[in-house]
Structure 1
Amino acid sequence: MFKVSSGLTRTFLTLTTAALVLTACGGNDNGGGNAAPSDSQGGSSAAAGGKKTELLFWTPFSGADGAFMKDIVEKYNASQDSYKINFVIQPNGEYYKQLDVALSAGKDSPDLAIMHVDQIPTYASKGQLQPLDDIAGQSGIVKTDYVEAPVQYSTIEDKWYGIPLDIHPLVMYYNKDLFEAAGISGSPTNRAEFEDAVNKLTDKGKGQYGYVVPTLWPQQFIFPTLVWQNGGELWNGTDVAYNSPEAVEMIAWLRGLIDQGISPANVQQDGENTLFLQGKNAIQFNGPWMKSQFDEAGLNYGIAPVPQIGKAKQAVYAGSHSFVIPKNTTDAGVLAGIGDFLKYVAGNSLAWAESGQALASKPMLDSAEFKALPQSSVADSFSYVQFAPNVLNWGTIIEPVWGEINNALLGKKDPQKALDEAVAKSRQAMGK
Structure 2
Amino acid sequence: MSKGFKSVAMAFIVLCLVIVTGCGNANGGNNGGNEASGNTAASGGKGKTDILFWTPFSGADGEFMKKIVEKYNSSQDQYKLKMVVQPNGEYYKQLDVALSTGKESPELAVMHVDQIPTYVNKGQLNPMDELAATAGVKKEDYVDAPVKYATIEGKWYGIPLDVHPLVMYYNKDLFEKAGITAAPTNRAEFEAAVEKLTDKSKGVYGYVLPTLWPQQFIFPTLVWQNGGELWNGTDVAYNSPEAVEMVQWLRGLVEKGVSPGDVQQDGENTLFLQGKNAIQFNGPWMKGQFDEAGLNYGVAPVPQIGKAKQAVFAGSHNFVVPKTVTDANVVAGIGDFLKYVASNSMDWAASGQAVASKAMLESEEFKALEIQSNVAKSFDHVQFAPNVLNWATISDPIWGELSSALLGKKDAQKAMDDAAAKSRQAMKK
Query: Where do residues 16-415 of structure 1 align in structure 2 (5 Å cutoff)?
Result: 16-18=12-14, 20-21=16-17, 23-27=19-23, 29-33=24-28, 34-35=31-32, 37-39=34-36, 43-47=37-41, 50-374=46-370, 375-415=372-412
Displacement, 1:306? Answer: 0.2
Q: 1:98 is aligned with what amino acid?
A: Q
Displacement, 1:12? Answer: 3.7
Q: 1:303 to 1:172 in 2, by over 3 A?
A: same
Tell whether the 8 Å contact from 1:188 to 1:197 is kept in structure 2 after alignment: yes
Q: Partners in 1 of 2:307 and 2:33 — Cα distance?
A: 54
Higher mean displacement: 378-387 or 274-283: 378-387
Q: Secondary structure at the match of 2:313?
A: strand
Tell whether the 8 Å contact from 1:2 to 1:11 is kept in structure 2 after alignment: no
Q: Partners in 2 of 1:17 and 1:84 — Cα distance?
A: 31
Q: Secondary structure at the match of 2:68?
A: helix
Q: Using the aligned pairs only, state the percent identity.
A: 73
Tell whether the 8 Å contact from 1:208 to 1:280 is kept in structure 2 after alignment: yes
Displacement, 1:36? Answer: 6.1
Q: 1:125 to 1:36 in 2, by over 3 A?
A: closer
Displacement, 1:381? Answer: 1.2
What is the TM-score of this pair, normalised by structure 2?
0.96
Return the match for 1:423 from 420, 425, 428.
420
- Structure 2 segments unaligned to the other structure (5+ residues): none
Higher mean displacement: 10-19 or 59-68: 10-19
Q: Secondary structure at the match of 2:397?
A: helix
Q: 1:404 to 1:243 in 2, by over 3 A?
A: same
Displacement, 1:15? Answer: 5.3
Higher mean displacement: 59-68 or 275-284: 59-68
Displacement, 1:387? Answer: 0.6
Q: Partners in 1 of 2:131 and 2:40 — Cα distance?
A: 18
Tell whether the 8 Å contact from 1:319 to 1:387 is kept in structure 2 after alignment: yes
Q: Partners in 1 of 2:27 and 2:373 — Cα distance?
A: 28
Higher mean displacement: 369-378 or 190-199: 369-378
Tell whether the 8 Å contact from 1:68 to 1:355 is kept in structure 2 after alignment: yes
Tell whether the 8 Å contact from 2:11 to 2:396 is kept in structure 1 after alignment: no
Q: Secondary structure at the match of 1:103?
A: helix
Displacement, 1:2? Answer: 5.9
Tell whether the 8 Å contact from 1:350 to 1:370 is kept in structure 2 after alignment: yes
Question: What is the aligned residue count?
Answer: 424
Q: Partners in 2 of 1:419 and 1:88 — Cα distance?
A: 41
Q: 1:137 is aligned with what amino acid?
A: A
Q: 1:378 to 1:149 in 2, by over 3 A?
A: same
Q: Secondary structure at the match of 1:419?
A: helix
Q: 1:264 to 1:248 in 2, by over 3 A?
A: same
Tell whether the 8 Å contact from 2:15 to 2:315 is kept in structure 1 after alignment: no
Tell whether the 8 Å contact from 1:25 to 1:65 is kept in structure 2 after alignment: no
Displacement, 1:413? Answer: 0.5
Deviations 1:23-45 (A, max 9, x none): 41524x33434426334xxx332
Deviations 1:266-288 (A, max 9, x none): 10110000000010000000000
Deviations 1:233-257 (A, max 9, x none): 0000000000001100101111010
Q: Secondary structure at the match of 2:16?
A: helix
Q: Partners in 1 of 2:15 and 2:401 — Cα distance?
A: 14
Deviations 1:160-219 (A, max 9, x none): 000000000000000000000000000000000000000000000000010000000000
Q: Partners in 1 of 2:55 and 2:122 — Cα distance?
A: 20
Q: 1:154 is aligned with what amino acid?
A: A
Following TM superposition, where does structure 1 have runs of at least 4 consecutive aligned residues deviating by more than 4 angstroms? none
Q: 1:89 to 1:394 in 2, by over 3 A?
A: same
Displacement, 1:52? Answer: 1.3
Q: 1:19 to 1:351 in 2, by over 3 A?
A: closer
Tell whether the 8 Å contact from 2:14 to 2:20 is kept in structure 1 after alignment: no
What is the TM-score of this pair, normalised by structure 1?
0.95
Displacement, 1:220? Answer: 0.4
Deviations 1:349-380 (A, max 9, x none): 01101111111100100000000102201111
Q: Secondary structure at the match of 1:134?
A: helix
Q: Partners in 2 of 1:410 and 1:44 — Cα distance?
A: 53
Displacement, 1:20? Answer: 2.8
- Structure 1 segments unaligned to the other structure (5+ residues): none
Displacement, 1:11? Answer: 6.7
Tell whether the 8 Å contact from 1:208 to 1:281 is kept in structure 2 after alignment: yes
Displacement, 1:107? Answer: 1.4
Deviations 1:132-165 (A, max 9, x none): 0000000000000001110000000100000000
